[in-house]
Amino acid sequence: MSTTSGDDGRDAPAPEDGAGAPEDGAGAPEDTASTPEDSAGAREGRTARALVFVRERFDGACLAFPVAAPDTASFGRDEDVLVEQRLFLREHAARAQPEAISRLSFPQGTDLLTVNVAVPRDDLPRKLRREVPVSFPCVVVPAGEQAARATRTAQARVDERDAWVLVPALGHAFYVEAGEPLEPAIRREVRRLLASQSLSTWDHLGLLPGSAHRLEVLHAPLPELDRVQPGQRVASVAERARRKKAVDALVSVATPLHVAAQRSPLAAPPLACRDAELARLAALLDGEERLGVLLVGPEHAGKTALMQAYVARQTRLVYATSGAQFIAGMSGLGQWQERLHGVMEAAAALDAVLYFENLDDLLAERVDGGHVDLAGAMQPYLDEGRVRVVCELRDDRLDALEGRHWAFFAGLSRIRIEPLSAADTRRALAERAERDARVEPHRPAVAGDALTALIDLAERYLPYSAFPGKAVRLYEDLRTVHERERTAQGEPVTLGRSDLHELFSMRTGMPAFLLRDDLPLRVDRVARDLGASVVGQERAVRALAETIAVVKAGLSPPDKPLAAFLFVGPTGVGKTELARALAALLFGSPDRLSRFDMSEFGSEGAADRLIRGTDGAGGLLTQRVREQPFCVLLLDEIEKAHRAVFDLLLQVLGEGRLSDARGRTAYFHNAIVIMTSNLGAAERRAQAGFSGGPGAGSPEERAALDEAHYQRAVAGAFRQEFVNRIDRVVPFRSLTRAELAEVARLTTQRLSQRRGLSEAGVALEVSPRALARLAEDGHAPAYGARALRRHIEEHLAAPLARLLARLGGDARELTVWVTEAGEPEAPVDGAVVGRAETPALRLEARRRRAARAARQAFGVEQVGDLRREVDQWMGLGPIEQLREQIDFLLTQLSVATGPSRDRRKELDTSALQAEHHRLSELWARLASAQEEMHSVEELALMALLEGEEVRELAREAREAWEGVRKVLPRAMVATEARRDAITLILEELDEGAFDRWLAPLLRELPRRGWGATLHIDGDRAGPGDAAWPAGRRWGPPRAPGDVIEALARPKRGFRSVLLRCTGAYAGAFLSLERGLHQIVVGRREAGAARDASGDGRLHVFVHFVAHAADIAEDQWEHRSLAPPPAGSAAARRRGAAAREHDEVEGAVLIAGRRARISMDPAWYWERLDEIALTHLLLFEGEGSGLDRSAYFTPETS
């Protein structure tokens, strides 16, 4: 008996066409009555004949589907399902290829046989497990030459014929050889297949048969063939084959957009206000001459919508593809060129349109892959007019790309897509809403007044996108968020302005009171909220509150920042704290504060780094504002910036925008700009003495003197045109003693809320005398509250940390009482567990009542959190794929050891067993740890209820959790075919970087059991080396020890090394390392290492070559193996870092700072599994922007 590996019957041989009606007999398919047209077609012999399986449920409804195409099912009444199947067959026969039609037909003698199989119910509790008899209807198809003389007696032995057996309930087909009893063979195969799967209770219910089942034969007329002369028939068949081959070549790298348009003609949204552009596009594409078209315009201006409208007209075949699809999987020499030429020839043969939605991707420089030039390979086809091409491109990328590919752009006719006006967008959106209400009545609708508000919000607050796209996206987001909401009557909701404002506030962080006119703004309440975290600066707080009222009223200029302030005054009086409070109030989080220390930008070159950026990356300031336009920008110590910075800030404050070197504009319209300065602070302190001293005058007089003094200082330090662009100069005064005491109270309160104390359940209580002592000892007139905070950190936070560290595991559920030295002890309850003293303070830790119960609950919560995280990991896609692969291998092993092994191709059973063992071992460790986590959680809950200690159970849960993390990195890449080998080019961009990066890697290889062969750029074979080509850039093979010695030499003449590494999971883990590695070492050590930038950072670039370690002799000259050119090293150094090794802060940042691991980078390679796991989990997270396939799919990139 032979089986197929597929689960839908498609792996079985294509059935043979039969003619005539079947003979009568039990189980024979019924030839149903046909329409007159069908009957006429049958008489003429030009019909498609399909075998349809009909299953009747106990409620009378029927399920019908072609035996060879179970996915195309119909459900309903008996007559209706057959009519629907017949209509489908007629449409399918008119459009499908002959071989696809022939698969629906089965030979004479095909029977329906019902076999009872005892199915084990392993899903039931152990005491209830038993075997349940289930009836499986099976379609028995005569095979090969035996089909012509097959008998139709299903109960006969099969020694007269071979047969295929299809089991619709399982979607499975297998082969029964002549001489095997049919029913035992079916039972054995069904039980084997069920044993290889883990079936749930619902799966078992799906196996139960209906009340009846039968086979029907349906006919549908075939279209008339073109009348051709006998001598032309061969050419006609060859032409059809050529077109099919062309279609297959295009579908391999492109999506046929015209197919979706044919199936759903109403799917494309209506196109408004683009009649002229659509007419021009159609004229260029539908003419006799085959042309290339470039749709150029701002992002979201409507380029894609225009192309969708053209596709909806269904005048030509349109295939959408991209540069990444062209080169995906093309790791061999010349593979991508062969694919590209095949696709272009196919497009020429079909006269189809190739559509590139992102031309930037097609023309992107792929440094790792040896400079793949897709545009150059395509250009001859455009120049010769052999293909029709449509490309989209943002206008801000046009100049840069055209300068590098001018010949390619010369062959494209341009259609400029300008953004729509707000009025046209309103009209287009109204048409879209009307169409959606008609075509999608089950989805939420948007009211007319909400559409008007939507246009206003998009125009005011979304400057980086163009109309109509930004409005359409906001419209779609609004409907999607409320997708499941229904009225009391069960109807879809109609969304209004309040729903829109709620969504916009959630997406941008802007408070609803600024967006909604119906919500009042009380200046006093805003001032109170701002002043809650700032002490003693009432006038400054009031100034900010009044500015917010101006923004709320819509009176701020639309072409400038929301506000521009200059905070002046002594250090440590709350300038930065007030800016942080403003960010939290306006944008929902203090993280929306973007701070720049302007003392770092005092040179002209540094000013360019802040504002202008380079061709490869945006400036620090412009990039930050583009990424987060709704923010508070804090430019600290502005007077220390270079004068070039002030020139550009004039444009920021005056026009609200800046452009970087790539031509991208950053808009500051939704930002509040706050600049701080200490100008005049020293002179004012010398004039007035300590604030509040004798003879200082009333608070109003002091405030007026302060403001006049700082205004003079600002006018004398800055140019008049710069000062005129500042909305308000806000003076900050020195703090009084009483205010410093309040700062001390707020600081100790925040100290008590730190994570380490809150998670351990430690409360902090500071007596009034201790608080006053802290304020007095920490007072420094020259440094204000900043000196006080440092004093509290040194004399309270540090002793508190030492006390808790000394207590170890007992430092939980405590109250730490802080009193002044010599102060009487407070009359408090609780046993003393630890004390600490300083010259000024006494700290006493006491156990709180009911602390043990709280600690028990905390332990149970910890166990639950760990268990939920493990369950989440076990549900990840790669882990599910691991489980499915184990089941598949088990099925293959069952097939390989079956009784008819000699009739099939020999399988490598030992390799299957080894792979199954490897994967099963990983899965068993994961599943065992998960089961242990669940058991520990149950025991912890029981211990909590019975009053027993849960600390040991929490420790066991932590150990099981750590065990899962150790296995998880390998499990998540276990099914990758190319996981054990890799070839990389390692490039040292700064001298000394290899000492910190490559040398530790080579020392780590033996511990991991990885082998490596290395080639040094420019190395030459020595007397003891094997023969090596003299003209080859890469030197002869070297062992890791040889390269470590070469790195240790005082002078070395190479900066690139070719690494070929093999070993368990070496390819998978090292593939994640591709890209830029930035090593932060500090300026002093970087100076010794001679980094190129002088900013304390060293760089290594990892170029991916292939998921293989063997290089054939004829592959050494391939461009992907060429050493990186030295001239482009500066551009690579400025790119986003795949890894940032921060030796100063003691951390490793992963994938462009998407994740952070606190560790000494010196242990990087020893903790590679942990780093790889963090990166792999980023792939599974939503919104990470990372593509797993880009790292593990072999390609030339």
CATH number of residue 534's parent domain: 3.40.50.300
Q: Nearest CA to 732 among 709, 764, 758, 698? A: 709
CB-neighbour burial class of residue 830 (10 A; exposed 0-12, middle 13-18, buried 19+): middle
Q: What is the DSSP letter of 664?
A: -
CA–CA separation, 974 vs 372, rounded Å? 30
CATH code of residue 993: 3.30.70.1660
Query: How many Cβ atoms are within 10 Å of 506's Cβ, its own excluded?
Result: 12
Task: Give me the average pLDDT of each 10-residue run along the chain (1197 residues).
Answer: 39 38 44 43 60 84 88 84 84 72 81 91 75 91 64 47 89 88 92 86 81 87 61 72 89 89 71 91 93 94 93 91 82 79 93 93 67 84 94 89 89 94 93 87 89 91 88 92 74 87 84 75 83 85 86 80 91 89 85 89 79 65 87 92 88 87 81 90 56 52 77 89 91 85 88 84 88 88 83 92 88 86 75 88 81 69 90 91 85 53 47 81 90 90 77 87 92 89 93 92 88 92 86 91 90 91 92 93 58 74 92 89 84 86 90 88 90 92 81 59
Domain stops at, among 508, 542, 571:
508
Distances (CA, A) of 1015 to 84, 704, 986, 1100, 1111: 67, 74, 10, 17, 12
DSSP line for 192-253: HHHHTS---HHHHHHHS--SEEEEEEEEEEPPPPP---HHHHHHHHHHHHHHHHHHHHHHTT
Q: Do 29 and 110 lie in a common domain?
A: yes
* Tokens representing residue 387 in the block: 């293909």
Q: Do 202 and 150 lie in a common domain?
A: yes
Q: Do 746 and 607 lie in a common domain?
A: no
* Tokens representing residue 1071 in the block: 């593939």
Return the sign of the alpha-carbon dihedral for residues 647, 648, 654, 655.
positive
pLDDT on residue 59: 66
436 touches 428 (CB < 8 A): no
The pairing of beta strand 172-176 with beta strand 212-221? unpaired
Return the sign of the alpha-carbon dihedral for residues 68, 74, 75, 79.
negative
Let me know if residue 349 belongs to a domain: yes
Question: Which residue pairs from 1140-1148 have beta carbons closer than 8 angstroms and sit at least 24 positions apart in sequence?
Answer: 1140/1077, 1140/1078, 1140/1079, 1140/1080, 1141/996, 1141/997, 1141/1077, 1141/1078, 1141/1079, 1141/1080, 1142/1080, 1143/1079, 1143/1080, 1143/1081, 1143/1082, 1143/1085, 1144/1080, 1144/1081, 1144/1082, 1144/1096, 1145/1080
DSSP line for 43-85: HHT-EEEEEEEEEE-TTS-EEEEETT-TTS-EEESHHHHHHHH
Let me know if residue 231 belongs to a domain: no
Let me know if residue 599 belongs to a domain: yes
pLDDT on residue 43: 40
Domain stops at, among 936, 967, 998:
967
DSSP line for 392-449: EEEGGGHHHHHHH-HHHHHTEEEEE-PPPPHHHHHHHHHHHHHHHHHH-TTSPEE-HH
* 1151 three-class SS: coil
Q: Do 301 and 373 lie in a common domain?
A: yes
884 Cβ contact partners less than 8 Å away, ≥ 6 residues apart? none
The pairing of beta strand 1147-1150 with beta strand 1137-1142? antiparallel
Return the sign of the alpha-carbon dihedral for residues 264, 268, 269, 274.
negative
Q: Do 659 and 538 lie in a common domain?
A: yes
Let me know if residue 518 belongs to a domain: no
Q: Do 989 and 1070 lie in a common domain?
A: yes
Domain of residue 822 covers 737-846
Q: Do 487 and 527 lie in a common domain?
A: no
Query: How many Cβ atoms are within 10 Å of 161's Cβ, its own excluded?
Result: 24
129 touches 90 (CB < 8 A): no
CA–CA separation, 39 vs 23, rounded Å? 19
pLDDT on residue 392: 95
Angle between helical axes of 182-195 and 877-896 (0-180°, round to 10): 150
CA–CA separation, 322 vs 1136, rounded Å? 23
Q: Do 665 and 724 lie in a common domain?
A: yes
CA–CA separation, 724 vs 432, rounded Å? 46
Let me know if residue 974 belongs to a domain: no
CB-neighbour burial class of residue 962 (10 A; exposed 0-12, middle 13-18, buried 19+): exposed
Distances (CA, A) of 451 to 427, 492, 515, 768: 10, 17, 15, 58
Give the chain's length: 1197
Q: What is the DSSP letter of 903?
A: G
Query: How many Cβ atoms are within 10 Å of 736's Cβ, its own excluded?
Result: 16
587 touches 510 (CB < 8 A): yes
CATH code of residue 802: 1.10.8.60
370 touches 1119 (CB < 8 A): yes
* 834 three-class SS: strand
Strand order in the sheet with 388-394: 255-256, 318-321, 353-356, 388-394, 292-297, 412-416
Q: Nearest CA to 1121 among 428, 370, 485? A: 370
Question: Which residue pairs from 787-791 have beta carbons closer than 8 angstroms and sit at least 24 positions apart in sequence?
Answer: 787/572, 788/572, 788/740, 788/743, 788/744, 788/747, 789/743, 789/747
The residue with tokens 């190395």 is 1019
Domain stops at, among 798, 825, 846:
846
Residue 853, φ and ψ in degrees, nearest 5:
-65, -40
Let me know if residue 514 belongs to a domain: no
Residue 557, φ and ψ in degrees, nearest 5:
-60, 135
Helices (H), 875-950: 877-896, 909-946
Q: Which one-letter amino acid corresponds to residue 637? A: E
CA–CA separation, 440 vs 442, rounded Å? 5
The pairing of beta strand 593-597 with beta strand 1155-1158? unpaired
Q: Do 1094 and 1181 lie in a common domain?
A: yes
Q: Do 574 and 450 lie in a common domain?
A: no
* Phi and psi based region of residue 714 (left: phi greater than 0; alpha: psi -120 to 50; beta: remaining): alpha
Number of domains in the chain: 7
Let me know if residue 972 belongs to a domain: no
Q: Do 529 and 667 lie in a common domain?
A: yes
Q: Do 537 and 648 lie in a common domain?
A: yes
Q: Nearest CA to 600 among 559, 654, 640, 631? A: 640
Let me know if residue 910 belongs to a domain: yes
Q: Which one-letter amino acid corresponds to residue 435? A: R
317 Cβ contact partners less than 8 Å away, ≥ 6 residues apart? 256, 258, 350, 351, 352, 353
CA–CA separation, 220 vs 577, rounded Å? 79
